[in-house]
Structure 1
Amino acid sequence: MLADDLLALFRSDVVDTAAPYLWSDTEVWGYMNDAYRMFVRRIGGIPDTSSALTRLVLAPGQPTSAVSPLILRFRSAYLLSDGTELKIVNEAGLPTLTTSDYGQLNTQRRSLLQGKVTHMVTGMDRNAARGLVRWVRIPDRADTVQLSVQRLPLDTVEPGFEFGEIGEEHHEHLMLWMKARAYGKQDAECFDRGRRDEYTQQFNAYCAQAKAEWNRYKSHSMSVAYGGL
């Protein structure tokens, strides 16, 4: 479904098809974009191992690298040069992170040592450094890190947009959040607390159902071994 079709369907459902509109096109496009991103956020993000934001450049002597704020979760990371998998650790877990060097345990919390990168540290101060990850150790050579992530949509909804990153079965259900936003508009002709809350609950329930279905799809099926004749 094209975004233009969803806009027309929204106007038909809320009976706002003649100008002057209760909700301007600018407002409706904003509601649609928010609904798209909110749906993806609620189901845990879009799996990605191939877009540009999944590759990070390691620069010698640089302790951090910039990452996209669209990333919701880091699933794995490895060095492209030799395939070494990096351990992903949250900033809060660093005090307990140690490495063994010839039998001696060394803390890695504020390691200034340069060498081969072994860990990617996430969860730094989100207000100041949401778009950064830190390396342990500080890289001593140039390399590239390949990520597997869960992320928000790459593109903004606009006329002609196709919702290619989510299944077509979800497209019309984005209207639930669009209606919740529309009826929450602080305007005497638009605001309707009951409808806003109703559509919010319906959207939340649909997202929970979609996430549960996705989790079942991802889960490993039990293998069954059959004996020969």
Structure 2
Amino acid sequence: MTVEELIARFRVLANDKVEPFFWSDDDVLAWLNDALQEAVVCGRLLHRFDATVPVLAGQSVFRLPERVFEVDCVVLECAGQRVGLPLLSPELAREQRDDDVCAVLTDTEVLLRPAADMDGTLWVSGYRLPAVLVDEDDVPEIFEFHHVHLLDWVLHKAFSVPDAEVFDPQRSALAEMEFTRYFGLRPDSDLRRITREDVPHSVVPFWV
């Protein structure tokens, strides 16, 4: 569905079909972009496999590729050889030996330990944010079946506006609940650390 079609569907659902509208097209578009970003993060809907970052000998800090919010694989390629690097949080990295080879993830960067000893390429794969919707003929990047469910977030935001004519906290809450039911719960800021599958786990014995 295009932006124009989604806005028209919203106006039907919100019973806002007669001008002057309660909510402007610009407001609805802004909420659509919020909805799309929320959906992509909650449902991890967009994955990028081919992000590459040039590596120079002696370099250890690299900016994450544009719009990537969760990394699930880092591969270092040097002299034709590719090596998959363990992904560690800064907390766990402090427990490793100085000569252990790994990639440390921060909120915006990838840190190589140790630094690269020759030029090469860093291959990064992970989940990314969507492109922003701007024009009325733009189409959300996610699968078309999901498009109509974005409107639950738009309805949630629209009916939460503190205006006497449109404010409806109950309808806002129900729309947000439906959005969450479909796309999943929103992760917190520890997303990379608590969901990373390749962080080694340890069991600490105790006596009862």
**TM bucket normalised to smaller:** 0.7 to 0.9
Name which of 164, 178, 185 aligns with 1:202.
Answer: 178
Name which of 104, 111, 114 aligns with 1:121.
Answer: 104
Distance 1:29 1:78 in 2: 38
The residue that corresponds to 2:35 in the other structure is 35
Bigger Rg over Cα: 1
Structure 1 residues 71-82: aligned runs within 5 Å: 71-81=68-78, 82=81
Distance 2:77 2:58 in 1: 18
Kept after mapping to 1: 8 A contact 2:68/2:128: yes
- The answer to whether the aligner puts 1:94 opposite 2:70 as a matched pair is no
Per-residue displacement from partner, 1:59-113 (whole Å, max 9, x unpaired)? Answer: 2333211114632321111123311111211111012212xxxxxxx466xxxxx
The residue that corresponds to 2:22 in the other structure is 22
How far off is 1:166 after superposition? 1.8
Report the AA paired with residue 25 of structure 2.
D
Structure 1 residues 82-161: aligned runs within 5 Å: 82-98=81-97, 106=98, 118-123=101-106, 130-153=107-130, 155-158=131-134, 159-161=136-138
How far off is 1:19 after superposition? 2.6
Query: TM-score scaled to structure 2, two decimals?
Result: 0.80
Aligned-pair Cα RMSD in Å: 1.9
Structure 1 unaligned regions, length at least 5: 99-105, 109-117, 124-129, 210-229
Give the % identical residues: 24
The residue that corresponds to 1:48 in the other structure is 48
CA distance 1:107–1:79, shift in 2 (3 Å): closer
Distance 2:71 2:45 in 1: 11
The residue that corresponds to 1:189 in the other structure is 165
Secondary structure of the residue that 2:11 maps to in structure 1? Answer: helix
Kept after mapping to 1: 8 A contact 2:153/2:176: yes
Per-residue displacement from partner, 1:101-145 (whole Å, max 9, x unpaired)? Answer: xxxxx466xxxxxxxxx321103xxxxxx3222111112322111
How far off is 1:45 after superposition? 4.2
Report the AA paired with residue 28 of structure 2.
V
Q: What stretches of structure 1 move > 3 A for 4+ residues in a row?
A: none
The residue that corresponds to 2:194 in the other structure is none
Distance 2:104 2:147 in 1: 36
Kept after mapping to 2: 8 A contact 1:70/1:152: yes
Kept after mapping to 1: 8 A contact 2:99/2:114: no
Structure 2 unaligned regions, length at least 5: 186-208
- The answer to whether the aligner puts 1:66 opposite 2:43 as a matched pair is no
Distance 1:45 1:202 in 2: 18
Q: What is the aligned residue count?
A: 182
Query: TM-score scaled to structure 1, two decimals?
Result: 0.73
How far off is 1:151 after superposition? 1.6
Distance 2:70 2:109 in 1: 13
